[in-house]
Structure 1
């Protein structure tokens, strides 16, 4: 007989009219009524469309049944099942095994992932792979799900947890090297060594992070004993003004005001954002001034300060920050200060979560003025942050009378306490190391410190171009108040600003808690990476650099000028040397350790857009070494080694 279109349509319509469970039961009933056992013990099933016998493929195509459904129900028939029952779990409902897998992945992410400052994501260390994460899960799960299902759960339930292939943020060298070696290594024993190295590395970074959150918990539970602060800066590309939600050709190419946001969390007290438009050099002076502002905001100061920072040598990990903290201990504001730095490439923490929410908010709205930018910051997160416009920066780097210090770039933890009336520095490579190493000598020579404010400068800002472009964008401004703010900003004049001395010590001392408290310090767990020893931190005269130390006109010079403490390395070309050899004139150069160096020019004050070579007189005391650039304008390797070891 011939199969007609009517027969096909009728069979398909009757089958589609059934529910999912009824379809399964109909297929099971078909096996029971149209199957028979053959002589070899197997059963044969007859497939009909209407009254016409067809093959299995045609039967499935006519009824719209998938092969997986067909074979699953056939297995039930072979086991003697006579009723299909429920069609499976309700949509959106997960099995107990799936729930346990998701819970495990959440906990794993909480321990090892970093919060990104520019988007709502958690990044696992780049040395990991999904396969390796699943293998870790198998080791701990009593009833694990399959690999494919684990990947599906990851994609569906935790899409914000990723393993980045590349990142524009700082990378962990060890993670990168391990991943590269694993991708090319085929030797089984070598791969096992690399995997063990990765496990140890991940445990260490997890312990460092746990230590940070332990400090937070102590500060929240015992605010009368402990104070925990984290300081970090946000990506500057997100905070240009005016910020438009939709950019045309003119708005995309216009000159905008670059702003800096320095975020601070005082755990258990509040979240603060300090805004400035680069009126001051972004070095240790800015960081110290923000710390002073935060301490002055508090009603009382406990005996112990926990300070968390990233590894940036220009702003945080330098002798001026350590010297200021020594000053706080030596004058009695704190009895102990512990400064911690997370692993390079693993430094994104709770403050970056605030930055992420702020960045997300800016991606959805236009913000045209600084007051509205600060208001947006205060609306981006819960608990509500506080926006503060930085109005003064103290010249602490020049006021501090310090010894030289070297080797301080390698340790991740410093402790400062008072011994024999002097602030003494102890250090450890990791927070889990069992023994504190003591620095011989004292970094702070003289505790008498004058806090003189630095005059704000707009020399690096092309004010004329900014004003021209912003005024050209006024047609896109909807509110007159935004235009008025910019008019007032352009009229601001810093020429009449006068530096002044401030009495910081008395204002901090009155906040000092007077009654003594019991000391309940806990022992540190020793699981640290002791294999990779680091050189000691040395206070005092640095070993002489065996190089060409003569200052000759035309040669390049590496220097360490305190007022430019935020810039490192400091390099320029010697223009001339004065007769007494106490100073020399330098033409500053700009570049980095990995790029070429070029001569700097700066705006002429009051010169209406004119620029000149940036030449300055520098004391010979700030000179480190002389050298020559490579033919391509880069720093020679031996100078890079000096820069890394100096690290001020």
Structure 2
């Protein structure tokens, strides 16, 4: 007799009452975990992911979702479960078994994933791990030294990541308290608030671009467009500067400073104090010219205080990468023929239109919209170089001591002072540096675009993107 027949006979004889279990058979003495047990477990997983998760791009290779939180590869599910066990016992809560823990994680927290080992980009981490893996024939003292070295490195990385998250969270609280919801033109140093920004270059994109790419285009080099992003953590908005190859003056410090200067003047919230995060690229961000610029900015009264923080090499994933990832995901699915189409892809990449915004640096015909200035020649006579900045991770500039640079290598170090400005030379500086004229496209590049790329551009955009060579 099948189960449905039994249920039907029981209902006809007894009505809507539960069936009584007959004696015999196997008994399950394990007490099922309650809704509260499930809630405590899920909250632990979410809080752990919030504290230890990496801020990665919107699209991560190997993962289909773009709203995921990735844990470092060292935090496997087994290791997280052991930490959960210790937490539950310390707080007097019930400990569920490992299989149930993993099942709840899979069903209720699918957005929390563990990074694959290949996604670890830090060479120091890789070197230390390789040494540890090959430590079978080492003495206990040598093994202990390797483990301590890796632990020191990871502890420093955790401190730097915690600083970034703390500054980000504080900026969001400040934005909420002051009803700041979007980037807009605000006079500099006019709003007594503390705000956090981050900036970075993305890998360049090409146009024209087709979702269904024809075979010949794969072997050609279409017109290039660089992308520089400046992100405001408080209002969760990013300005993406789109740099056509005919307008580009390179990715050096002159370009970075010019885009930052335009960003603060055009989109800044007018804060008196600004915290900034960026990576350790010496040619773009970590150089004397960027330090000179922020010292000059303080002396000009454009900010009252600025901190410039560099993330540890190999651990530099932060908010701009997330928005770059969302833009690239949309860009790959669109038919792009010109800069205007790329700007539309930037705007369409987020649910809220103003979260990811585009700013053209120039047009295809050479018209300049965001000028690039020669900041190196402008600032060099008035400021002195701080030697050995490569290992230094934190710089601070304040109007209470204009012209001085306060710095420290790690957060635990004592802050030191360096008098960077030569005051009588600063007073002689003109208001702004000279503009660098765009180089334009070389004739050979114009011929290449006209002869090989023009046919792939939309008909009404061909004369704009791939005109007849001059």
TM-score tier after normalising by the smaller chain length:
0.7 to 0.9
Could you list the per-position Cα deviations for residues 287-317 of structure 1 after superposition, in whole angstroms to 9, with x for gaps in the alignment?
Answer: 1111111121157734322121111111100
Give the counterpart of 1:265 among 197, 215, 231.
Answer: 231
Offset at residue 145 of structure 1 (A): 3.0
> For 1:253-332, what aligned pairs fall within 5 Å after superposition?
253-268=219-234, 270-278=237-245, 279-298=248-267, 301-332=270-301
- Higher alpha-carbon Rg: 1
RMSD: 3.5
Q: Using CA pairs under 8 Å that are at least 6 residues apart, name the structure with larger relative contact order, 1 or 2.
A: 2
Match of 1:410, SS? coil
Residues 403 and 444 in structure 1, CA contact (< 8 A), matched pair in contact too: no
Aligned residue pairs, count: 412
TM-score, length of structure 1 as denominator length:
0.57
Alpha-carbon distance change, 359 to 463 in structure 1, aligned in 2, over 3 angstroms: same
1:123 paired to 2:78: no
In the other structure, the counterpart of 1:109 is: 49
Alpha-carbon distance change, 27 to 250 in structure 1, aligned in 2, over 3 angstroms: farther
Could you list the per-position Cα deviations for residues 549-582 of structure 1 after superposition, in whole angstroms to 9, with x for gaps in the alignment?
Answer: xxxxxxxxxxxxxxxxxxxxxxxxxxxxxxxxxx
In the other structure, the counterpart of 1:240 is: 206
In the other structure, the counterpart of 1:180 is: 130
Alpha-carbon distance change, 147 to 368 in structure 1, aligned in 2, over 3 angstroms: farther
1:413 paired to 2:365: no
In the other structure, the counterpart of 2:330 is: 361
Offset at residue 396 of structure 1 (A): 0.9
In the other structure, the counterpart of 2:451 is: 468
In the other structure, the counterpart of 1:505 is: none
Alpha-carbon distance change, 379 to 152 in structure 1, aligned in 2, over 3 angstroms: same
CA distance, structure 2, for counterparts of residue 354 and residue 461 of structure 1: 34
In the other structure, the counterpart of 2:15 is: none
Unaligned regions of 5+ residues in structure 2, if any?
11-17, 61-65, 179-190, 362-368
1:210 paired to 2:162: yes
> For 1:432-511, what aligned pairs fall within 5 Å after superposition?
432-433=411-412, 435-439=414-418, 442=421, 446-447=425-426, 448-449=429-430, 450-457=432-439, 458-459=441-442, 462-474=445-457, 482-491=458-467
Match of 2:198, SS? strand
CA distance, structure 2, for counterparts of residue 215 and residue 358 of structure 1: 25
In the other structure, the counterpart of 1:530 is: none
CA distance, structure 2, for counterparts of residue 155 and residue 193 of structure 1: 37
Residues 308 and 339 in structure 1, CA contact (< 8 A), matched pair in contact too: yes
Offset at residue 446 of structure 1 (A): 3.0
CA distance, structure 1, for counterparts of residue 314 and residue 423 of structure 2: 31
Offset at residue 111 of structure 1 (A): 2.1
Could you list the per-position Cα deviations for residues 569-627 of structure 1 after superposition, in whole angstroms to 9, with x for gaps in the alignment?
Answer: xxxxxxxxxxxxxxxxxxxxxxxxxxxxxxxxxxxxx8xxxxxxxxxxxxxxxxxxxxx
CA distance, structure 2, for counterparts of residue 297 and residue 214 of structure 1: 26
Match of 1:139, SS? helix
In the other structure, the counterpart of 1:161 is: 113
Residues 264 and 272 in structure 1, CA contact (< 8 A), matched pair in contact too: yes
CA distance, structure 1, for counterparts of residue 238 and residue 405 of structure 2: 29
Residues 126 and 175 in structure 1, CA contact (< 8 A), matched pair in contact too: no
Offset at residue 387 of structure 1 (A): 0.8
Alpha-carbon distance change, 405 to 109 in structure 1, aligned in 2, over 3 angstroms: same
Alpha-carbon distance change, 191 to 299 in structure 1, aligned in 2, over 3 angstroms: closer
In the other structure, the counterpart of 1:557 is: none
Offset at residue 191 of structure 1 (A): 6.2
Offset at residue 284 of structure 1 (A): 0.9
Residues 126 and 179 in structure 1, CA contact (< 8 A), matched pair in contact too: no
CA distance, structure 1, for counterparts of residue 133 and residue 42 of structure 2: 28
Offset at residue 75 of structure 1 (A): 3.3
In the other structure, the counterpart of 1:380 is: 349
CA distance, structure 1, for counterparts of residue 325 and residue 298 of structure 2: 34
Offset at residue 116 of structure 1 (A): 2.4
In the other structure, the counterpart of 2:192 is: 224
Unaligned regions of 5+ residues in structure 1, if any?
1-10, 33-72, 475-481, 494-605, 607-648
Alpha-carbon distance change, 115 to 211 in structure 1, aligned in 2, over 3 angstroms: closer
Offset at residue 352 of structure 1 (A): 1.9
